[in-house]
Structure 1
Amino acid sequence: MVPSGHLTTAPPATPAGPTEIDTITLCDLSSDAGWRRPVLLSRELIVLTTGGHGYAEIDFRALPCRPGTLLRIRSGQVLRCALPQLDAAVVRWHPEALRGLDVDPDDVPTWTQLAGEDEDAVINEVSQLTVDSGRHQDTRTGRNLLRHQLTVLLLRLSMLPDGGGARAARPEEATFRRFCREVERGYQHTRRVEDYADRLDCSVRTLTRACLAVTGRSAKQVLDERVALQAGRLLAATDEPIARIGRQLGFTEPTNFGRFFTREIGVSPGAFRAARDRRVPAPVVRPRPPVDIPTTGAYRA
């Protein structure tokens, strides 16, 4: 049993191939200690702040962090520590690691400030998972142990006040979640709301009503925001040519992509990329956690 309130330090990473579930530290996520650029993440993360005060930018949204702050970050999002003065334990996993288990990681809120018994319980579970990932990840039984430990951690987090696991979703929220999942599958190919309505066997009016109820924005606005978010991620975290990024997102002409991005973000793709290394004071943002949507941080702005 790990003593309450004490977090075990992760063991050094082994040179073997990537594992399904492991634990690292926050500084291991970026090769640049100054976090001058966002990092595009390829695995699912739980980040538990253990020391320091600062900000973590998830999809360009600054969230205040101090000991006990817990972040849920999804594969495909970009992360940057705006003020790299934080220590944190990171639990990361491939989505396939939870296949067949009765848990939905999307029920975990993006930002939570833990306290009291909840904080003690989460620290204990993260610490035990850290110990076991260093000792047992090379055996089948050990990997099963880690899968169930991660499931317990996620279930506990989903029952926090901001989580989605302890309440039934309203019909509009369920429709919105279905729409967002279809958008994730298809935004690179179509930006027509009618196409998503056909896939979900409902009307455009139903999708728009659901989006307005959850976000205050129309279905078309939600869809365009998702495309603009992905463009921003790639512009900020990669060196891909701007024209190629536009083609990846379904724009056959660079000028069309440039007009779309400027309309959605307020600056051109070139200006957005040029500003990515600029250090600016992070604003205080109060997270609003009514609904958490997979891989779509912009929906919670």
Structure 2
Amino acid sequence: MDQQDIHGVELEQMRTELEFTISTIAQLFDEFEPSVFAKPHRVSFNAIIYIAKGQGEHHIDHKLYRYKPGTIMFLSQYQVHHFDYNPDIEGYVASFKDEMLYYGNDDPYESKIKTALENVNCIYDSDEKYSFYFEQLSQEYLNQQDNLSGEIIRSTMRTVMLKTLVRHYQSCLTHQNRSPDALDFMRLRELIESHYNDTRTVADYARMMGKTTKKINQIVKDNTGRTGKELIDDRVMLEAKRLLAYSQYSITNIAVILGFNEATNMTKFFRRHTELTPKEFRELCRHNVAKSY
């Protein structure tokens, strides 16, 4: 890995046929050096962090979240995070790949969970009863008695995600998503994830999906209330902020990574979305004051 890039973390070897692992926060602290947690790192999996006791700060991408008992934090694949070592914290960390949650391509809840996971990072003041689910997940993971354990873990994780993450996300929407194009929207998000540094035009994604630009914009509007261009630009901006905040790449190199012909073009793009230059944003991140940009 390039030493200037963001450090990456892979999911550890699974104990079940599902791509899933869970441990207490204390076990996590025992397993790694404290400096590991303080260094920004990009996860190759999804994760849920449940705080049962203690307070502290956790950075996800370039945003700061102050957690307390009852806080549930969500990390989606490829997000960057870091936090300070605090031995007084109690809770659980569950890590998993997308596939372990869903029942094939026709799962009616897949798009709902994925969309919520991409848009929500933290829920405060969750009900104390949720600690029960994490305790059950941990027990089932550590004490697998038969071939039912994998399905019990999957079902419990789905319950947690639907009762916390998805319900919270839906309550934040100004309109409920009843779009018949939910699967097309999910496919579009996957394409953007794969090609955001190659193209930023709606027309290119329309060609990839065999649809018109008008149809792509309608799909995005029905699912988010926004335009296709805004959705694409949001993903480019997210990666730009990650690299500016956490990598050692020069602004010129970041522009190349993101597919801009010149650094000045990226600067114009970045300023248009934040009213800051990339250099100004990087300086704010170093002083931990870029939370609202």
- TM-score (normalised: structure 2): 0.69
Aligned-pair CA distance for 1:49:
1.6
Does the 8 Å contact 1:108/1:154 carry over to 2? no
Change (3 A) 1:132 1:61: same
SS of residue matched to 1:89? strand
Change (3 A) 1:86 1:206: farther
Instruction: Find the counterpart in structure 2 of residue 43 from structure 1.
Output: 45
Mean CA deviation greater in 208-217 or 263-272: 208-217
RCO greater where, 1 or 2, for CA within 8 Å and sep 6 or more? 1
Query: Which residues of 2 match residues 62-77 of structure 1 at below 5 A?
Result: 62-63=64-65, 65-77=67-79
Aligned amino acid, residue 182 of structure 1: L
Change (3 A) 1:60 1:186: same
Query: Which residues of 2 match residues 117-136 of structure 1 at below 5 A?
Result: 119-120=128-129, 122-134=130-142
Does the 8 Å contact 2:72/2:126 carry over to 1? no
Query: Which residues of 2 match residues 96-115 of structure 1 at below 5 A?
Result: 97=100, 104=110, 105-106=113-114, 110=120, 111-113=122-124, 115=126
Does the 8 Å contact 1:45/1:90 carry over to 2? yes
Query: Which residues of 2 match residues 141-180 of structure 1 at below 5 A?
Result: 145-146=149-150, 148-160=152-164, 161-162=167-168, 169-171=178-180, 175-180=184-189
* C-alpha RMSD of the superposition: 3.9
Could you list the per-position Cα deviations for residues 229-283 of structure 1 after superposition, in whole angstroms to 9, with x for gaps in the alignment?
1111122222234333322221233332233223323322233233323244978
Mean CA deviation greater in 206-215 or 21-30: 21-30
SS of residue matched to 2:265? helix
Does the 8 Å contact 1:207/1:219 carry over to 2? yes
Change (3 A) 1:261 1:115: closer
Does the 8 Å contact 2:244/2:282 carry over to 1? yes
Are residues 1:190 and 2:199 paired?
yes
Could you list the per-position Cα deviations for residues 57-112 of structure 1 after superposition, in whole angstroms to 9, with x for gaps in the alignment?
43334555332222221011123459979644210123455576667342655344
Identity of aligned residues (%): 23
SS of residue matched to 1:276? helix
Query: Which residues of 2 match residues 269-280 of structure 1 at below 5 A?
Result: 269-280=278-289
Of the three residues 222, 230, 235, the one matched with 1:221 is 230
Q: Which runs of 5+ in 1 are unaligned?
A: 1-15, 284-300
- TM-score (normalised: structure 1): 0.67
Question: Alignment length, in residue pairs?
Answer: 259
Aligned-pair CA distance for 1:217:
3.1
Higher helix fraction: Structure 1 or Structure 2? 2
Change (3 A) 1:146 1:234: farther
